[in-house]
Structure 1
Amino acid sequence: MTDEKTDETVAALDALLEREKAALLAGDLSGLDGLTSEKEALILRINELGNLARGQVEALERKVGRNRDLIESAREGIRAVADRMAELRRIRQGLETYDRSGQKHRHPVRARAELEKRA
């Protein structure tokens, strides 16, 4: 059996995990900064109380796991964008080819042609 203080703390953590999920799904990564320290404080408080019902623990573990998966997906997306941007920078620097002997050659890309507007 749990007491009222434990139930309030569990409810606060549950609500925070839902806010974290909403921020992740909305792509609001800056909104996660404040949630992390609050989440850690609530988890510490729950650990100190230590009298959670099995159902409460399982529900919280599911939500924490779900959010962890969402965070990992966001990280992978950010890495993919960074890789793509690096590839685009490399392409702008020029084309790299190899000759028959295996020597690498860089062919610079011409600067963009500027159009002149005439009236």
Structure 2
Amino acid sequence: MFLSKQSNLIEDIDALMDEERAVLKSGELHRLPDLLNRKEALFEKLKAHEGATEEELRSLREKSTRNQPLLEAAMSAVRAVGDRMKDLSRVRNSLETYNQKGQRYAVSMTSGGTFEKRT
């Protein structure tokens, strides 16, 4: 019974790692928090049990290593979107320009204001 529980646990983790890869490749990043919670719970169970073979653990390690660059790329993309959103917000709220002395000057843009371009 102990070995079948352990095998089921390894199979569950293995399936979760495959699911994680599919989610990352499809760009369904909204599913990552749920996957992370499930992954943490399964790995906690794995730490509490003994008996997994070196081959089973190696397979899980390889899948984890395989998924890591995808996770890093996803996190980088999320950070880039966040940075871009901050930039867009800053542009909406102020106009940065330089004065005659070459010093940066910010003009606050209040809502409802107008901006006229003269040529």
Number of residues of Structure 1 aligned to a counterpart in Structure 2: 111
Question: In 2 relative to 1, CA 107–30 (structure 1 residues): closer, same or farther, beyond 3 Å?
Answer: closer
Cα RMSD (Å):
2.6
Q: Find the counterpart in structure 2 of residue 20 from structure 1.
A: 20
Q: Find the counterpart in structure 2 of residue 99 from structure 1.
A: 100
Q: Which amino acid aligns with 2:44?
A: L
Identity of aligned residues (%): 30
Unmatched tracts of structure 2, length 5 or more:
none
SS of 2:75's equivalent in the other structure is helix
| Deviation (angstroms), 1:15 | 0.3
Tell whether the 8 Å contact from 1:23 to 1:29 is kept in structure 2 after alignment: yes
Q: Find the counterpart in structure 2 of residue 116 from structure 1.
A: none
Separation in 1, partners of 2:48, 2:62: 21
Separation in 2, partners of 1:6, 1:86: 47
Normalised by the size of structure 2, how large is the TM-score? 0.74
Q: Find the counterpart in structure 1 of residue 9 from structure 2.
A: 9
Question: In 2 relative to 1, CA 61–91 (structure 1 residues): closer, same or farther, beyond 3 Å?
Answer: same
Normalised by the size of structure 1, how large is the TM-score? 0.74
4+ long deviations beyond 6 Å:
none
| Deviation (angstroms), 1:107 | 5.7
| Deviation (angstroms), 1:39 | 1.4
Tell whether the 8 Å contact from 1:99 to 1:105 is kept in structure 2 after alignment: no
Unmatched tracts of structure 1, length 5 or more:
114-119
